[in-house]
Structure 1
Amino acid sequence: MLQLGQIDRSDDKPPYRQIAGMLRDAISTGQLIAGERLPSEAALIDHFGVARMTVRQAVQDLRAEGLVISEHGRGVFVRPAPPIRRLASDRFARRHRASGKAAFTVEAEKSGYSPQVDNITVTREKPNPTVAERLRLTPDDEVVVRSRRYLADGRPVETATSYIPATFAQGTKIEQTDTGPGGIYARLEDAGHILDRFTEEVGARMPTPEERRALQLATGVPVLTVVRTAYDTNDVAVEVCDTVKVASAYLLEYDFSAR
C-alpha cells in the first residue's frame, strides 16, 4: 500500500516540490510500479491539505521528467519503462552475421525482449556534407538511405538512418526493404566489403518534435545519439548509421584494453 509522508511547512522547498519528491521516491522504490495509477487529485489534496493547483504543479513536474503520463478521463499513471538494452561491441561480431542475425536481434536475445522493426524507407539521395565527409564522397555522389524504427516488446526505443554509397549498394538487397539474413553488413560483406572496424560518436540531447512523436516520448525525456561509421579491410568507409535512442532504454558498455 502506498505510504506518503506529510508536507514540512518549515521547509524552504515549495509544497508542490515536496509532493513531487514523495511521489518520485514512491516510483523509484517500487511502491508505485510501471502502469500503476497515481492517487487521484482529490485524494492527494485531502492527504496533503493543499490547493488543487499545488497538486497539479507536482504532477506536472513528474510529467516533465517523463516519469508519469496522463490519460484523459482515467488519471495519471507511472510511465512504463522500455526494456533496457545493453549496447556492447560484440553485437557486430561476424559470427552473428554468419548465423543470419543482425545486431538488433543479437541484443534482443541477450536482453530477453521481442524485437520489431517498422517504418522502413529506402531512397537514393545526395549525401549531406557530414555524411559525404565520413564516407569520403563528393557532393555529386549518391547514397542509399535506409531509415527505420526499432521496437522492444512493442515499445519504440530507437530510430536509425543508414547511408551507404550507392556504388556499394547497387544490385544488392540493401536497396530493398528486406535486406535478408544478417542485415546491411552481411550484404556488404557478400559484395566483397569485409568489415574490419567501427567508430562510434556518442552524444545526448533533447529530442526534436518529430523524434518525440516517433519514439512516443514524454516531455523532458532525453535521447542518446550514436553515429557509427563502418570500415572494411581496405579502410574504406562503407556505411554511416545515425541513431537516436531513448536514453532510459540503453546502457552503453565498452570493452577496451588497458595497454
Structure 2
Amino acid sequence: MHRQLFVVLRDQIAQGVYPLGSLIPAEDALCAQFDVSRITVRRAVADLEQLGLVEKLPGRGTFVRAAPRAARQQASFGLLASLGKQARETEVTVLKVQTMSAPAMVAQQLQLPEGEAAVHAVRLRSIRGVPMMVTDAWVPHSIGRNVTENALRKQALFEILMAEGVKFGRVIQETTAVAADPVMAGLLKVEMGAPLVRIVRLMHDRRKQPVQYITITFTGERSRILMDLNAEAVNTTGAGQIVHDTDDHLA
C-alpha cells in the first residue's frame, strides 16, 4: 500500500499538481483521502524524501523540492541514433557473454536451426551508479563472433554488429509490464514484486533476416518510453497496437 501511495504522489509532483515549494497534504488528510494507515503514509513520504522529491520540516509540513518535469520534447533520434545516445550516456556492466544453444523460443524468433549456437549477452546500464535497465540479448553466432565482454565494454552491441556488416532494417517491438523477480530486483535495486516495464525487440537486417533478439527491463520510476510518429505512420502498425490476450485468443 505504501508503494502505491508513493507512486500516486510522485506522479502528482511530476505533473505539477503540487508545485515546487508547495506543501503536500498532511498525514491526516492523506490517510483520509486514500483510506490508509498513518504508517503507510509515513513510509510513502519517506520514499519521496529519499529520492529528493520532498523535504519534511518539523512543525511546518512536507514541502515539494523537485520541479515538475519539463514538457515532453519531440523525439529527434531514430532508433539506432537513440541506442548510440543511450550507450554514451550510461555506464555498462557486462554481466554475461556466452556462446550456447539458444532456448527454443529465442531460436524460433531468430530462425535458427535446432542446436545452432547463438551469443547471449546480458548487461546492466547505469547513470552515476543508479541502475537504469537490464538488457538480455541474443544474436546468431554467425554474426556475433566478435561480441565479447571486452568489446561490449567499449561499444554498444548494435555497433559491433554493424562493424560485421549488418545493416539494420525492420524492427518488431512489444512492451509489457512484469513484476520484479529476485534477480531483477537485485540488479535494478527495487523491491521484490515491484512493477517493471519490459520491451522485447526483434531486429532484422535489410534482407529481412532476424539478427538480434533483445529484452530490455527497467523501472518506470526512472525511465519512460518516448515515441514520435510521423503522419505516414499514424495509420499503420508502426504506430503500435494493443493486443488483448483473452482466453479465446489464447485458445
TM bucket normalised to smaller = 0.5 to 0.7
- For the residue of structure 2 that corresponds to 1:214, the secondary structure is helix
Is 1:252 the counterpart of 2:235? The answer is no
Structure 2 counterpart of 1:253, one-letter code: M
The aligned length equals 201
Cα–Cα, structure 1 residues 131 and 121, in superposed 2: closer, same or farther, change >3 Å?
Answer: same
CA-based RMSD:
4.0
| 8 Å contact kept, 1:193–1:232 | yes
Q: How does 1:1-259 map to 2 (within 5 A)?
A: 24=9, 28=13, 29=18, 54-60=37-43, 62=44, 68-69=46-47, 77-79=49-51, 90-93=77-80, 96=81, 103=83, 105-107=84-86, 114-170=89-145, 172=146, 174-179=147-152, 183-218=156-191, 221-248=194-221, 249-256=223-230, 257-258=233-234
Q: Partners in 1 of 2:9 and 2:164 — Cα distance?
A: 53
| 8 Å contact kept, 1:199–1:229 | yes
Listed as ranges, the gaps of 5+ residues in structure 1 are 1-15, 70-75, 97-101
Q: TM-score, normalised by structure 1?
A: 0.63
Q: Partners in 1 of 2:40 and 2:153 — Cα distance?
A: 50
Q: Max radius of gyration: which structure?
A: 1
| 8 Å contact kept, 1:117–1:148 | yes
Q: Partners in 2 of 1:227 and 1:80 — Cα distance?
A: 32
Question: Relative contact order (alpha carbons < 8 A, sep ≥ 6): 1 or 2 greater?
Answer: 1
Q: Which residue of 2 aligns with 1:3?
A: none
Q: Partners in 1 of 2:188 and 2:196 — Cα distance?
A: 10
Give the drift of 1:57: 3.3
Give the drift of 1:91: 4.6
| 8 Å contact kept, 1:91–1:106 | no
Structure 2 counterpart of 1:184, one-letter code: L
Cα–Cα, structure 1 residues 217 and 178, in superposed 2: closer, same or farther, change >3 Å?
Answer: same
- For the residue of structure 1 that corresponds to 2:161, the secondary structure is helix
Cα displacement string for residues 152-211 of structure 1 (whole angstroms, at most 9, x for unaligned residues): 2321110001101112212x2x13432476522222222222111211111112211211
Give the drift of 1:90: 3.0
Structure 1 counterpart of 2:205, one-letter code: D
| 8 Å contact kept, 1:89–1:255 | no
Listed as ranges, the gaps of 5+ residues in structure 2 are 54-68, 236-251
Q: Partners in 1 of 2:49 and 2:141 — Cα distance?
A: 47
Q: Partners in 2 of 1:250 and 1:258 — Cα distance?
A: 21
Cα–Cα, structure 1 residues 214 and 176, in superposed 2: closer, same or farther, change >3 Å?
Answer: closer
Cα–Cα, structure 1 residues 186 and 44, in superposed 2: closer, same or farther, change >3 Å?
Answer: closer
Over the matched positions of the two proteins, sequence identity in percent amounts to 15
